[in-house]
């Protein structure tokens, strides 16, 4: 099950897990886009189920998970990918509604999905939770404030879950991407595509597929191997705060 599967890292994971031969459950808010992706993957022979809900809507998420057909109920891998950044204002001038959306999606949505899916993994003593964190959770950067805090929370929640399931065979991974060229910056800059594009110039950024490769690797590692955390950066990004751009 991949949340936020309609674009970016989530879509990369949908394609790569499907290529890997896994049945995939794709969730997202955009039903039309989910249907297009379902068709694309089904034509390539994958088994795909789509669920339209917003991870912020706990009641709807619960309803969708409880209504899963019997043959789709045993979820072995949960990729908690749904998340976003909104705005780059200084913390003291930030938009409170944006904070709510980021906190409700990146932290509370991830928790909701964990709460709904992990009990079944514990019962079966089998499963893997892959949370999409960020280099932003390791160190704050200018204008990142609340977004960075949500990704620091993802790090703490991933570590906490790993501790809580350590007596089971369930594995827990924190994937921490740096600069990935997706719709992420368009959303963050509220549709200012020129500004978003500038962020990815002078450097070859990562793609959603690059991150998905690591997710598939982690989930296929031998059962005694737990890839606890991976920081994935473009070659010319050294940290959250240092990117070397070439003309």
Name the site residues for ligand 8X3 (rule: CB under 6 A): 134-136, 177-179, 240
Give the nearer residue to ligand 8X3 in terms of CB position, either 163 or 242: 242
Give the nearer residue to ligand 8X3 in terms of CB position, either 49 or 243: 243
Under a CB-based contact definition with an 8 Å cutoff, are residues 14 and 8 in contact?
Answer: no
> Residue 120 Cβ, how far from ligand 8X3 at the closest point, in Å?
29
> Residue 190 Cβ, how far from ligand 8X3 at the closest point, in Å?
15
Q: Which residue is nearest to ligand 8X3 (CB)?
A: 134
> Residue 56 Cβ, how far from ligand 8X3 at the closest point, in Å?
19
147 carries an active-site annotation: yes
Give the nearer residue to ligand 8X3 in terms of CB position, either 109 or 127: 109
- Given the residues 92, 141, 147, 217, the one annotated as active site: 147
> Residue 85 Cβ, how far from ligand 8X3 at the closest point, in Å?
7
Positions marked active-site: 147
């Amino acid at each position: 099950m991949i949340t936020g599967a309609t674009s970016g890292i989530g879509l990369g994971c949908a394609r790569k897990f499907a290529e890997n031969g896994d049945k995939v459950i794709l969730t997202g808010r955009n039903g039309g886009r989910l249907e297009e992706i379902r068709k694309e993957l089904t034509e390539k022979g994958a088994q795909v189920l789509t669920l339209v809900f917003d991870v912020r809507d706990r009641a709807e998420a619960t309803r969708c998970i409880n209504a899963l057909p019997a043959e789709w109920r045993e979820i072995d891998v949960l990729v908690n990918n749904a998340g976003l950044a909104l705005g780059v204002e200084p913390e003291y001038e930030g938009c409170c509604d944006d904070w709510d959306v980021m906190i409700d999606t990146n932290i509370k949505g991830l928790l909701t999905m964990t709460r709904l899916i992990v009990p079944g993994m514990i019962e079966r003593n089998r499963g893997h939770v892959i949370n999409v964190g960020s280099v932003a959770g390791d160190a704050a950067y200018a204008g990142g404030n609340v977004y960075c805090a949500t990704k620091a929370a993802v790090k703490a929640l991933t570590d906490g879950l790993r501790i809580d399931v350590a007596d089971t065979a369930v594995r827990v991974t924190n994937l921490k991407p740096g600069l990935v060229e997706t719709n992420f910056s368009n959303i963050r800059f509220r549709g200012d595509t020129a500004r978003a594009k500038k962020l990815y110039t002078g450097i070859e950024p990562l793609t959603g597929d690059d991150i998905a490769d690591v997710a598939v690797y982690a989930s296929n590692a031998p059962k005694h191997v737990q890839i606890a955390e991976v920081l994935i950066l473009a070659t010319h990004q050294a940290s959250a705060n240092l990117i070397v751009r070439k003309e």
